[in-house]
Amino acid sequence: MEATGQIAGVRQADEARPRPHGVALRPLALGGATLAWLAIFAIVVSVLMLNARAAVRAETEAAFGLANAFATMRLPTAFERRDMMAEARQIAADIESQRHVSAELRDATGRPVALPLAPQPPRDPPPGWFAALLRPAPRADLIPVSQYPNVLGVLEIRTDPGDEIAEAWADFRLMLPLLGGMALAVLGVTMAITGLVLRRLGVLGAALARMRAGDLAVRAPQTGLAELGQLSDGVNALASHLARERAENRRLQGRMMTLAESERARIASDLHDGVGPQLFALQAAIDQAGERAGGAADPALAGALAAVSRHAAAIRASARAAIDDLRLSPAEGASLAEMLQELLFEFADMAPEVEFALDAPQDLPAADEAARVALFRFVRESVLNALRHARPTRVGVALATAPGAALLARVEDDGAGPRPAGRKGLGQAGMRDRASALGGDYTPPRRDGTMTVTECRLPLAGPQDQETD
């Protein structure tokens, strides 16, 4: 039943706990790292593309200038008696074999002249979009091949950045996996750090959950992170403060309950010493008047005096019951087990047909005054409820230590069972309030097999709860 009460308390704490709101840290870190890397990736790719475009333009411009100068210097003049087309054909082949430029020789009719070129290995062309981004504005130059006075053909030199673009594409393809690997590494490090922080926060959250459930003795551990260490210190300081405040509240509640018991005892003493003798004198006077009325042979008067006598006896019984209820115990000042044993002896005199039993270990820890009074009141009220409403043949009372440095009182009977739900009286409300005021738990009567069971658990006073004079 103790476990059931703890589960119910944790469930109520969970229901009262505010729901999380805002953005979770893990998706936020993942999204932020992804966006940051995408921005870095775009910047790096843009810089690479701009540098590659500038390099392609510079290389092709230089190669075009060199090819143009080479053709101009090597081509014979129009006045030399040499095979101009043969030499122009060789010059075009030499230029065509160079990088970043191309050459085409056409005869006088405009038809291309075949060039003696060595076979070239196949080249992996870059994608069209990549070539379009890097390709500079094309340049071309026409050099006439003539032998005075005839024009034999024309040599056209053009820029051809295909080789340079292919090299840039090869470098770019090498960079892309590296950038992707770096992105995965950065995301992995980010998520690892985020997971570490979340695990540390989870440890703090678990400690806070236990504190919220009422366990103020727990302390938030140090996580190894400076910022979270300051948070742990703040949480522990708050828990210590709340523990001191709760102990002080319990001391005040216990003092109030002790004062209330003293006031109840004073009222009981006043009733016993003041109203009791007067009621006894009244009863004696009524009995004497009844005897005289009976001797006067007046039936009406004798009947009226008999009724008054019965009412006076009822008032005396009510006053005696009130005094017994207000008075704590004939064994006041004794241990709790001795007080309960004396109480059960009184109940045995009231209900001799019921078997009463007390189970209290010898090594039971001593309870403070407030807990002793509260547990005595709990047992007295519970046994009275059983006798009044359940008609039992056996009533058992047990005292035991409970987990968490607490004292547990248990009352069980084999009667008809607890009253239907919704009919809880003031007695149960008082027991629940007393237990709550002292930091304990009260379990209303419930059916457990053939027995009706009710329990009250109160914490034992620790060193921090002891009052100092």
Burial of 456 (0-12, 13-18, 19+ CB in 10 A): buried
pLDDT over 70 percentage in the chain = 79
pTM (2 d.p.) = 0.48
Dihedral through CA 187, CA 189, CA 192, CA 196, nearest 10? Answer: -130
pLDDT over 90 percentage in the chain = 11
Pairing of strands 451-459, 355-359: unpaired
* Integer CA distances (angstroms), 128 to 102, 122, 135, 333, in order: 20, 17, 10, 101
Helix axes 369-389, 426-437, angle to 10 degrees: 160
DSSP code string of 63-111: HHHHHHHHHHHHSPPTTS-S-HHHHHHHHHHHHHTSSSEEEEEEETTSP
Tokens representing 461 are 């006073």
Q: Which of 3-12, 132-141, 235-244, 428-437 has the lowest mean pLDDT?
A: 3-12
Quick check: 295 pLDDT over 60? no
Pairing of strands 150-159, 140-147: antiparallel
Q: Tell me the C-alpha distance between 400 and 335, whole Å.
A: 14
- Tens-place pLDDT, residues 353-373: 999 999 998 888 877 777 888
Q: What pLDDT does residue 388 have? A: 86
Burial of 97 (0-12, 13-18, 19+ CB in 10 A): middle
Tokens representing 225 are 């992170």
Give residues with Cβ within 8 angstroms of 461, minimum separation 6: 367, 368, 371
Burial of 352 (0-12, 13-18, 19+ CB in 10 A): exposed
The answer to whether the beta carbons of residues 139 and 159 sit under 8 Å apart is yes
- Tens-place pLDDT, residues 436-447: 878 888 999 999
Pairing of strands 140-147, 355-359: unpaired
